[in-house]
Amino acid sequence: SSSIAFRVPNSLSPAAEAADSRPPVDPSMGACNTKMPAISPALLVVVKELFNAMDEDKDGKVMLPEAEKFWAGGKLGKFGKMSARAMFNEVDDDANKSISYKEWVDFWTNVKNSPEHSYSDEDIIEEVQAMLKGEAWRDWDDGKSTTKGNGKE
């Protein structure tokens, strides 16, 4: 009996991984469970810009008072606290009044891949750019709420 031997790499090179259009599979969850595709580089640039604009002390986390200050400094004035709290209700998954960069990117990945609404990169970029100019936080159709608990409906 003869067997054919072939080498299977442990992981793909970054270039090969980027070219692979299939969503990544989490092996611990079985073949049917897949992760959401990552957001595009263009979208990542603007959401990172918004995160950095709020992260006043540049510690890699946005605290609620930092967000309130950011939103109050825009066109919203005293209503800025409402936008900051609405954002935290949607984004702060562990309800610790701090948004890590990972939570932030995970939130935008969820918005982009939302089954409730088909947002294009252009839609999201336009809204984020408006927020950077002082507009209010938007209630995204992402299965989360701007008014309840830690954002879970």
Q: What are phi and psi of 87, to 5 degrees?
A: -60, -45
Angle formed by the axes of helices 121-132 and 101-112, nearest 10° = 140
Checking if the pLDDT of 133 tops 90, the result is: no
Q: What is the pLDDT of residues 11-26, one digit of tens each?
A: 444 444 444 343 443 3
User: What's the confidence (pLDDT) of residue 150?
Assistant: 42
pLDDT band at 117; cut points 50, 70, 90 = confident
Angle formed by the axes of helices 64-72 and 80-91, nearest 10° = 140
Q: How far is CA 32 from CA 11, 23, 25, 29, in A?
A: 19, 11, 8, 8
Q: 97: Cβ–Cβ under 8 A, 6 or more apart, which residues?
A: 63, 64, 88
Q: 52: Cβ–Cβ under 8 A, 6 or more apart, which residues?
A: 58
Rg (CA), the chain: 19
Q: Per-residue pLDDT averaged across 106-125, rounded?
A: 87
CB atoms within 10 A of CB 52: 13
Higher pLDDT among residues 46 and 2, named by residue: 46
Q: Per-residue pLDDT averaged across 121-139, rounded?
A: 87
Whole-model pTM over 0.85: no
Checking if the pLDDT of 145 tops 60, the result is: no
Q: Per-residue pLDDT averaged across 122-139, rounded?
A: 87
